[in-house]
Chains A and B, each alone.
Chain A
Amino acid sequence: MTVQTERPPSGPVDVVKRDESGPAGAGPRAASRLGALTPYLLLLPACAATVLLLGWPLLKDVLLSFQNLNMAQLIQHVTEWNGIDNYKEVLTGEDFWRVTLRSILFTAVNVVLTMILGALVGLLLARLGKRMRVTLMLGLVLAWAMPVVAATTVYQWLFAQRFGVVNWVLDKLGWHSMADYSWTSSQLSTFFVVTVLIVWQSIPFVAINLYAATTTIPGELYEAAALDGAGGWKSFTTVTLPFLRPFLYATTFLEIIWVFKAFVQVFAINGGGPDRLTEILPVYAYIEGVGNQHYGMGAAIAVLTILILLGLTAYYLRIVLKREEEEAGL
């Protein structure tokens, strides 16, 4: 099932259908062999790029993860294999597991918040009048478009300890202890700021696209539901939700990837602090590897991070795999 929100103008109506063979240049046989090769040729640049630019670094990373690679080895270009020592050290330490658990919780909280709030905003968009809708869309688009690096800077200013507008508002609202509150001083408050930032930036994507998807639901479906005596809630669960399901799956998948990899936001707001308590996996890999100049260790953590991300998205990938199978006869 496909949600197609783009509706191209309908083409010429009376088309005489003929056999699909172009003006013959080569013999039909050669043409069909070439035809069989065409998709592969078309995919060749993309695949070559992926293998070279993603596959190679990935392979290199895996190789590095079996090496003892620190300042001296990097500077002198020495390769020192150390087997699975890096993995042993990472997997037997408690840090890694703590960070992994934290990463998963962090991703879950952010994705759930984004999806629920985003869906609500999307449904709200569908209920609004035209002028109000365009206005709200504009606001959403502005938030969506803010480059992450600029957005994190702005959030640091909003939540600044001195002269930050958030502290001022909280103070005026009666929380006087918040007047000079340092949001980066504790794990929870740092995560709070990061979460607000991420959710603020992610909602527009979900909301706008969900709204666009709802506009493609055929009206007849609702009429049929109404004939069956379905009320507002019932028609929502029997018509809207099933229609939007693939869309929700896909968006959740994208959000999981994006939130899990939210390196810049976490790193820029507080560098994984205080006391390394807000490090999520990508930040942990970076700090252990690049920051601590323990590059082999960093590579091992990177490999494990990729495996964990694969695990998190496996369910969705299975669905896709199944669907592609069904669609094989496209």
Chain B
Amino acid sequence: MKRKLISAIGVAGMMISLAACGGDNGDSGGKAGADGYAGQTLTVWVMDGSSPDQWQKDVAAAFEKKTKAKVKFEIQQWNGIQQKLTTALSEDNPPDVFEIGNTQTPAYAKTGGLADLADLKSEIGADWTESLNASSIYDGKQYAAPWYFANRVVLYNKKIWAEAGIKDTPRTRDEFYADLKQIGEKTDAEPLYLPGQNWYHFVGLTIGEGAELVKKDGDKYVSNLADPKIAAAMETYKKFQALSKAPKDKDEATPQQGEVFGKGNVGAFIGMGWEAGIAIKANPKIEKETGYFTIPGATADKPEGVFLGGSNLAVAAGSKKQELAKEFLRIALSDKYEGRLAKLNGVIPNKESLQTNLKGNAVAEAAAPAAAGGGTTPLIPEWAAVENAPNPIKTYMTAVLNGKSPAEAAEQVEGEFNKRLAQQQ
């Protein structure tokens, strides 16, 4: 026993010294030599589920062919991403390129952690859709490149809906509710999986009501949660949430709602089209049972308001491979690969000319009608702090779902909300 322990420690000691040496893998400068960028590796952070494996493989191959350098994709979780990104950007070896949520981009642009991409914009970004590019611009400068945009749809289990005897997908909020009720009565399935803190969906509902989350008070932004329109949005959320057995104090990623849906006992959930991929990964049989439809609004002619989520690609200001990073962006955002991502995931590409890729895509067709009425959270640097856990909007939602009136809940979180909006930068 003793001898074994000692030898284990010996090995351990050796491995430590090896690990200590493994840190720097020759990132000497970012200039292309005679042999292109051979021997270099570009690190790219992408969010979990946002780009399919095949897409990553193809882009990596094209990138290697053009530059002789390798690319390493590292998958990140949304949960805690700001804390991780902030520290990473302060390090010697930050991720060279990273995906960053559109609502978080202004705050990071302000920190100086993002490289200026003005030249790239004039080179490949002349026809980027202006509204989608808005979040990447701060103080008149281009700090990121728009990558993809998407809004939530309803993903439903066709088998369960058929079992409940429902033929058509709903066209109004009331029909939707009635259908879900019917599923609850006629099948053993949970009609809807809607955790209490799917706050992106809630933001969509507030956009549908024409409400703003913050308002200006002098030169400061303050909470606008007490607005009756916000309360109306929350009442809608609450009504539907009551149909779900999902926890009232968790968001859609804990657990991943796609995982839950994949078990095959959930009628529907509200999510990104690509979340079907998570379900299919967990249970391949669910693929042919999964369908999509636009989140129905109050009336048949106007779909529900949606949050236009999206991601930009940014280059770390501290990256020593600026040129190589831009090479990567040229490839990843090229019409070929940008178009393919749109096609594979059913997301809105950064150029209108690429929207042809969405033809026949079930997800995109379900998402498109609502996109026109979509919106975002306020695109101000102050906003990022609001999204840090514990997000006061999530707290507000759980409070209402647990029985507080929207007005009471708004008052409860107002202090925290305002504190974060006023947080010293």
On A, residues with C-beta under 8 Å from B are 68, 70-72, 74-77, 161-162, 180, 182, 184-185, 270-276, 287, 290-294
Neighbouring A residues of B343 by C-beta, 8 Å: none
Tell me how far the C-beta of B422 lies from the nearest C-beta in chain A, rounded to whole angstroms: 11
A276, B113: Cβ atoms closer than 8 Å: no
A245 to B299, CA, bound (A): 75
B249, A185: Cβ atoms closer than 8 Å: yes
Whether B412 sits at the interface, judged by CB under 8 Å, is yes
B112, A182: Cβ atoms closer than 8 Å: no
A187 to B287, CA, bound (A): 41
Neighbouring B residues of A74 by C-beta, 8 Å: 86-87, 90
A70, B389: Cβ atoms closer than 8 Å: no
Tell me how far the C-beta of B226 lies from the nearest C-beta in chain A, rounded to whole angstroms: 17
Neighbouring B residues of A76 by C-beta, 8 Å: 90, 111-113
Q: Which of A77, A162, A185, A274 contacts B395 (CB 8 A)?
A: A274
Q: Which of A71, A161, A182, A287 contacts B389 (CB 8 A)?
A: A287
Neighbouring A residues of B110 by C-beta, 8 Å: 72
A276, B423: Cβ atoms closer than 8 Å: no
A275, B412: Cβ atoms closer than 8 Å: yes
- Which residues between 129 and 155 of chain B lie within 8 Å of chain A, taking CB atoms? none
Neighbouring A residues of B25 by C-beta, 8 Å: none
Interface string of B79-114 (1 = CB under 8 A from A): 000110011011000000000000000011011110
Q: Which of B247, B318, B390, B425 contacts A271 (CB 8 A)?
A: B390
Tell me how far the C-beta of B231 lies from the nearest C-beta in chain A, rounded to whole angstroms: 18
> In the complex, what residue of chain A is closest to B409 when comparing beta carbons?
A275
> In the complex, what residue of chain A is closest to B94 when comparing beta carbons?
A75
Q: Which of B83, B89, B108, B247 contacts A290 (CB 8 A)?
A: B83
A-B contact pairs, 26 of them (CB 8 A): A70-B423, A71-B86, A71-B108, A71-B384, A72-B111, A72-B113, A72-B425, A74-B86, A75-B86, A75-B89, A75-B90, A75-B111, A75-B112, A76-B90, A182-B247, A182-B249, A271-B389, A273-B395, A274-B249, A274-B398, A276-B390, A276-B395, A287-B389, A290-B83, A291-B389, A294-B424
Tell me how far the C-beta of B278 lies from the nearest C-beta in chain A, rounded to whole angstroms: 20
- Which residues between 207 and 257 of chain B lie within 8 Å of chain A, taking CB atoms? 245, 247-249
> In the complex, what residue of chain B is closest to A180 when comparing beta carbons?
B245
A70-B425, A291-B389 known; A184-B86 Cβ under 8 A? no
> In the complex, what residue of chain B is closest to A290 when comparing beta carbons?
B83
A291 to B384, CA, bound (A): 12
Interface string of B384-406 (1 = CB under 8 A from A): 11001110000100110010000
Neighbouring B residues of A287 by C-beta, 8 Å: 389-390
A294 to B412, CA, bound (A): 22
B111, A292: Cβ atoms closer than 8 Å: no
Q: How many B residues are at the interface, by size bracket? A: 20 to 34
Whether B380 sits at the interface, judged by CB under 8 Å, is no
Q: Which of A77, A162, A180 contacts B90 (CB 8 A)?
A: A77
A290 to B87, CA, bound (A): 10
Neighbouring B residues of A275 by C-beta, 8 Å: 390, 395, 398-399, 412-413
> In the complex, what residue of chain A is closest to B416 when comparing beta carbons?
A276
B249, A273: Cβ atoms closer than 8 Å: yes
Sample of 8 more A-B contacts, CB < 8 Å, known A75-B89, A75-B90, A291-B389: A70-B423, A72-B112, A75-B111, A75-B112, A76-B112, A185-B398, A273-B249, A293-B82
Q: Which of A77, A161, A180, A293 contacts B388 (CB 8 A)?
A: A293
Interface string of B255-298 (1 = CB under 8 A from A): 00000000000000000000000000000000000000000000
Interface string of B409-425 (1 = CB under 8 A from A): 00011001000100111
A182, B248: Cβ atoms closer than 8 Å: yes
A76 to B108, CA, bound (A): 12
Neighbouring A residues of B112 by C-beta, 8 Å: 72, 75-76
Neighbouring B residues of A292 by C-beta, 8 Å: 385, 388, 420, 423
Neighbouring B residues of A294 by C-beta, 8 Å: 423-424
> In the complex, what residue of chain B is closest to A161 when comparing beta carbons?
B247
Residue picked from B89, B384, B388, B390, most chain A C-beta under 10 Å: B390
Q: Which of A71, A180, A272 contacts B390 (CB 8 A)?
A: A272
A71 to B82, CA, bound (A): 10
A300 to B420, CA, bound (A): 18
Neighbouring B residues of A75 by C-beta, 8 Å: 86, 89-90, 111-113, 318
Neighbouring A residues of B416 by C-beta, 8 Å: 276
Neighbouring B residues of A272 by C-beta, 8 Å: 390
B248, A185: Cβ atoms closer than 8 Å: yes
Neighbouring B residues of A270 by C-beta, 8 Å: 249
Q: Which of A77, A162, A276 contacts B245 (CB 8 A)?
A: A162
> In the complex, what residue of chain A is closest to B245 when comparing beta carbons?
A162
Tell me how far the C-beta of A235 lies from the nearest C-beta in chain B, rounded to whole angstroms: 44
A74 to B108, CA, bound (A): 12
Neighbouring A residues of B420 by C-beta, 8 Å: 292
> In the complex, what residue of chain B is closest to A77 when comparing beta carbons?
B90
A71 to B245, CA, bound (A): 38
- List the 5 shortest-distance A-B pairs measured between CB atoms, nearest first: A72-B111, A75-B113, A75-B90, A71-B111, A75-B89
Residue picked from B247, B412, B424, most chain A C-beta under 10 Å: B424
Neighbouring B residues of A185 by C-beta, 8 Å: 248-249, 398, 402
Tell me how far the C-beta of A292 lies from the nearest C-beta in chain B, rounded to whole angstroms: 5
> In the complex, what residue of chain B is closest to A93 when comparing beta carbons?
B419
> In the complex, what residue of chain B is closest to A86 when comparing beta carbons?
B424
Neighbouring B residues of A180 by C-beta, 8 Å: 245
Tell me how far the C-beta of A252 lies from the nearest C-beta in chain B, rounded to whole angstroms: 33
> In the complex, what residue of chain B is closest to A293 when comparing beta carbons?
B86
- Which residues between 49 and 90 of chain B lie within 8 Å of chain A, taking CB atoms? 82-83, 86-87, 89-90
